[in-house]
């Protein structure tokens, strides 16, 4: 089943005061709407993304690999409907607000999985404030908040259900309420507090976050097994001697994974992926990295940069350096210029200097809420 995402960026920002909030820059230098776009476009389960936007966002989107980029209306439901109609027939459609730049991949996974199984799904978070019904400045009653939740996006359902729901409910404030109104059951999955919607200037303090640095180190000896491949930074070094280890022994990804875990206080790679667990024998270390990236996202962290040093007498990184940067920037969902890869020899000193193995150090900067 095709999974298609519609990104809504047509809002006029009337509640935001000066300028389009979606063009505001986040700390890593990317605008709000582009961060939302990348959360969708980089997700492995999303086949393609279409944009419904205001003229200034459409101008900013020129050149991006979008399935379509069309103008939106003044009402959210109208813009959403236009995008859903433009999605491929028979697809599962996710509708996401461009004002939510911090939707992590794990959240998107949960929404897609639940929508595939139950037909429609949205992420929700519990209400922590006490909710009052107020009439003419007088409190009428206090609601029991046990069953009250705030709806987030992305919201997902089949294209055909969404079209029917929004055509019949043109003033719905989200897709789920339109679906509910036509009797489609909508599944609630766990949202993420960090997945905030930037609506007013007062939301901007949410963007003022604490930079946190994580550090990682790893070392592996060369293997005597001529069949082992040398993997560094997710890139195979063809014809080079491999490293010994339970997994694929990618020291660069191990150091990087540890650095990521360090930013959110989640222990180390050995705790998460024990080398006594046969499930991880020969494991592709990209899986460890992906898990760590998800953990950072779940903790509300935004990865800002990564800096890596490889310690080896041999081999030289050569042209693989750029391949490693490419690979890691994809995995961390970072612009390539925010991922640095360096190498040094040990000037013949110590175990690395005697060419007995390879080590790597990594530091990662994350902004935490
Ligand atoms: Mg290791």
Alpha carbon of 254 to ligand 1 centroid (Å): 5
Alpha carbon of 247 to ligand 1 centroid (Å): 8
pLDDT of residue 356: 97
List, as one string, the DSSP characters of 321-358: HHHHHHHHHHHHT--GGGEEEEEE--TT-HHHHTTSEE
Alpha carbon of 351 to ligand 1 centroid (Å): 16
Neighbouring C-beta atoms of residue 355, cutoff 10 Å: 15
Alpha carbon of 249 to ligand 1 centroid (Å): 6
Alpha carbon of 168 to ligand 1 centroid (Å): 56
Three-class DSSP category at 154: coil
Cα separation, 61 vs 59, whole angstroms:
5
List, as one string, the DSSP characters of 35-77: HHHHHHHT-TT--EEEEEE-HHHHHHTTTS--SEEEE--SSHH
Alpha carbon of 250 to ligand 1 centroid (Å): 7
Alpha carbon of 200 to ligand 1 centroid (Å): 45
Per-residue pLDDT 10s for the chain (369 aa) are 999 999 999 976 655 555 788 988 776 678 899 999 999 999 989 999 999 999 999 999 999 999 999 999 888 999 999 999 999 999 999 999 999 998 988 899 999 999 999 999 999 999 989 999 999 999 999 999 999 999 999 999 999 999 999 999 999 999 999 999 999 999 999 999 889 888 765 565 556 678 899 999 999 999 999 999 999 999 999 999 999 999 999 999 999 999 999 999 888 998 888 888 888 888 899 999 999 999 998 888 889 999 999 999 999 999 999 999 999 999 998 889 999 999 999 999 999 999 999 999 999 999 887
| Cβ within 8 Å of residue 280, ≥6 positions away | 246, 247, 273, 274
Alpha carbon of 286 to ligand 1 centroid (Å): 12
Alpha carbon of 193 to ligand 1 centroid (Å): 33
Alpha carbon of 71 to ligand 1 centroid (Å): 50
Cα separation, 323 vs 336, whole angstroms:
10
CB-count burial class (<10 Å; 0-12, 13-18, 19+) for 10: buried
pLDDT of residue 201: 56
Position of tokens 């939740």? 149
pLDDT of residue 205: 54
Strand partners for 95:
6, 155
Cα separation, 361 vs 229, whole angstroms:
21
Neighbouring C-beta atoms of residue 145, cutoff 10 Å: 13
Cα separation, 236 vs 254, whole angstroms:
15
Alpha carbon of 345 to ligand 1 centroid (Å): 19
pLDDT of residue 6: 98
Cα separation, 290 vs 283, whole angstroms:
13
Alpha carbon of 291 to ligand 1 centroid (Å): 15
pLDDT of residue 335: 87
The set of long-range contacts for 12-20, using a CB threshold of 8 Å and a minimum separation of 24, is: 12/54, 12/74, 15/199, 15/200, 16/198, 16/199, 16/200, 16/201, 17/201, 20/54, 20/56, 20/57
Alpha carbon of 273 to ligand 1 centroid (Å): 10
pLDDT of residue 12: 64
Alpha carbon of 211 to ligand 1 centroid (Å): 26
Alpha carbon of 244 to ligand 1 centroid (Å): 9
Cα separation, 369 vs 41, whole angstroms:
24
Radius of gyration of the chain (CA): 23
Cα separation, 188 vs 205, whole angstroms:
28
Alpha carbon of 342 to ligand 1 centroid (Å): 19
Task: Please report the sign of the dihedral spanned by the C-alpha atoms of residue 222, residue 224, residue 225, residue 227.
Answer: positive
């Amino acid at each position: 089943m095709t999974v298609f995402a519609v990104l809504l960026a047509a809002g006029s920002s009337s509640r935001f005061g000066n300028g389009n909030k979606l063009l505001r820059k986040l700390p890593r230098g990317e605008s709000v709407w582009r961060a939302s776009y990348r959360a969708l476009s980089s997700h492995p389960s999303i086949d393609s993304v279409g944009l419904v936007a205001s003229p200034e966002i459409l101008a900013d989107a020129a050149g991006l690999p979008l399935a379509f980029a069309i103008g939106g209306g003044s009402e959210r439901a109208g813009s959403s409907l236009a995008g859903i109609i433009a999605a491929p027939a028979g697809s599962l459609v996710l509708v996401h607000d461009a004002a939510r730049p911090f939707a992590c991949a794990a959240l998107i996974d949960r929404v897609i999985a639940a929508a595939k199984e139950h037909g429609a799904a949205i992420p929700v978070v519990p209400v922590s404030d006490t909710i009052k019904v107020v009439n003419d400045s007088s409190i009428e009653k206090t609601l029991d908040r046990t069953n009250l939740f705030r709806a987030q996006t992305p919201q997902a359902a089949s294209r055909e259900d969404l079209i029917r729901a929004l055509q019949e409910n043109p003033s719905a404030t989200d897709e789920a309420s339109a679906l509910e109104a036509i009797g489609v059951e909508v599944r609630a999955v766990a949202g993420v507090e960090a997945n905030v919607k930037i609506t007013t200037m007062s939301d901007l303090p949410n963007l003022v976050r604490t930079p946190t640095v994580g550090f990682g180190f790893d070392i592996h000896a060369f293997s005597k097994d001529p069949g082992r491949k040398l993997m560094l930074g997710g890139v195979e070094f063809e014809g080079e001697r491999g490293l010994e280890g339970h997994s694929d022994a990618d020291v660069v990804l191990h150091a990087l994974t540890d650095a990521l875990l360090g930013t959110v206080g989640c222990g180390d790679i050995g705790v998460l992926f024990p080398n006594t667990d046969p499930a991880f024998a020969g494991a592709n270390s990209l899986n460890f990295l992906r898990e760590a990236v998800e953990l950072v996202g779940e903790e509300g962290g935004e990865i800002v940069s990564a800096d890596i040093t490889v310690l080896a007498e041999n081999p030289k990184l050569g042209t693989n350096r750029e391949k490693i940067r490419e690979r890691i920037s994809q995995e961390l969902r970072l612009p390539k210029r925010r991922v640095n890869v360096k190498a040094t020899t040990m000037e013949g000193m110590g175990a690395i200097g005697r060419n007995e193995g390879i080590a790597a150090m990594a530091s990662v900067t994350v902004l935490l809420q």
